[in-house]
């Protein structure tokens, strides 16, 4: 960050009284600019013994498969964001079952929250964000073509839980 979003003057990265981390501070209007991790929300749509995945049509990782998801928008819950992201990427409607994975990528300042969701109908289709949308059985998932470690983690934990007859919250992280 170079300039204050409040007044346009330059900012300095420095210690702030009462805080344990340095922050960007405007020397003109004294605004403290906090920068915190971004929430990525999504859902793994389930239909019988299959899951719905998207082949990305946008950067990053265009042409690779992922669990539908994206950044949480201001003013929405993580569940609302997950439902919106599934619709934006698949044109399908889901109902949330529950939180499945909480996955941190500290180096990228991202926290992923992936839910399990029931796919309401088989009306999915590609969108501007997805080149392909497809239902997969566990044995047909293109593991080597997965876009993100968060999607791979979510899928592996889903199939482990299904095999063991449980449903639980899984926490994971990716460290570079």
Tell me how far apart the alpha carbons of residues 147 and 65 are, in angstroms, rounded to a whole number: 5
Categorize the per-residue pLDDT at 176 as very low, low, confident or very high, splitting at 50, 70 and 90.
confident
In the predicted structure, residue 168 carries a pLDDT above the cut 90: yes
CA atoms within 13 A on the CB side of 72: 18
Neighbouring CB atoms inside 10 A of 151's CB total 26
In the predicted structure, residue 54 carries a pLDDT above the cut 90: yes
Q: For 57-92, write each residue's pLDDT tens digit.
A: 999 999 999 999 999 999 999 999 999 999 999 999
| Dihedral class, residue 165 (left if φ above 0, else alpha if ψ from -120 to 50, else beta) | left
Q: For 1-51, write each residue's pLDDT tens digit.
A: 999 999 999 999 999 999 999 999 999 999 999 999 999 999 999 999 999
154 CB-near residues (< 8 Å, 6+ apart)? 44, 67, 100, 101, 103, 114, 170
pTM of the model: 0.92
CATH class, range 1-35: mainly beta
The pair phi, psi for residue 161, each rounded to 5°, is -60, -45
The domain spans of the chain are: 1-35, 38-173
User: Which helix (H) or strand (E) is 155 found in, with range?
Assistant: helix 149-164
Question: What pLDDT is attached to residue 19?
Answer: 94
CATH class, range 38-173: alpha beta
């Amino acid at each position: 960050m170079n300039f204050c979003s409040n007044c346009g003057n330059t900012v300095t990265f420095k210690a702030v009284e009462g805080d344990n981390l340095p922050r960007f501070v405007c020397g003109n209007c004294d605004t403290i600019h906090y920068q915190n991790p971004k929430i990525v929300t999504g859902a793994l749509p389930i239909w019988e013994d299959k899951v719905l995945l998207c082949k990305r049509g946008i950067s990053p990782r265009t042409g690779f498969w992922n669990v539908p998801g994206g950044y949480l928008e201001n003013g929405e819950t993580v569940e609302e964001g997950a439902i919106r992201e599934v619709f934006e990427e698949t044109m399908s409607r889901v109902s949330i079952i529950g939180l499945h994975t909480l996955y941190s990528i500290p180096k990228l300042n991202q926290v992923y929250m992936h839910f399990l969701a029931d796919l309401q109908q088989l009306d999915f289709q590609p969108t501007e964000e997805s080149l392909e949308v497809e239902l997969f059985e566990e044995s047909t998932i293109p593991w080597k073509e997965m876009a993100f470690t968060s999607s791979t983690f979510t899928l592996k934990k889903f199939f482990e839980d299904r095999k063991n007859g449980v449903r639980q919250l899984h926490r994971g992280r990716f460290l570079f």
